């Protein structure tokens, strides 16, 4: 029996599937806190969930969130994200994180 290069590629992908299916690093404690928020907790990104994340990582997570339909909350979230970018550009990591957390709170 003769194997084609496509069959070899398919076999390699099947062998690699378990390694590719590992847990996403963003789905750890930060995601469980986000799920807790929808169940009634007040803050989605509090405590140790944000202390281990850089502001850039938090901004990426916030940008992936759905924008609120309430225009007031949407405007506030956009303003906070703009202020977070300004703080990050100035090298102020703590102010950046504070604004991203406020933006994420408005996105819920």
Digit-coded pLDDT (tens) for 2-25: 656 666 656 665 555 555 555 444
Mean pLDDT computed over every residue of the chain? 73
- Residue ranges of domains in the chain: 70-108
Rounded to an integer, the average pLDDT of 31-48 is 43
- Give the C-alpha separation, 91 to 88, whole Å: 5
Question: In degrees to the nearest 10, what's the CA dihedral of 89, 94, 95, 98?
Answer: 130
Whether the per-residue pLDDT at 96 is higher than 50: the answer is: yes
Predicted confidence (pLDDT) per residue in 56-77, tens digit: 999 999 999 888 889 999 999 9
């Amino acid at each position: 029996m003769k194997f084609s290069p496509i069959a070899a590629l398919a076999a390699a992908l099947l062998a690699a599937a378990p390694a590719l299916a590992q847990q996403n690093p963003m789905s750890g404690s930060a995601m469980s806190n986000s799920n807790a928020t929808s169940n009634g907790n007040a803050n989605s990104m509090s405590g140790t969930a944000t202390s281990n994340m850089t502001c850039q990582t938090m901004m990426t997570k916030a940008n992936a969130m759905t924008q609120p339909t309430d225009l007031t909350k949407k405007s506030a979230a956009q303003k906070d994200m703009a202020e977070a970018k300004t703080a990050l550009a100035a090298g102020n990591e703590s102010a950046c994180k504070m604004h991203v957390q406020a933006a994420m709170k408005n996105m819920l």
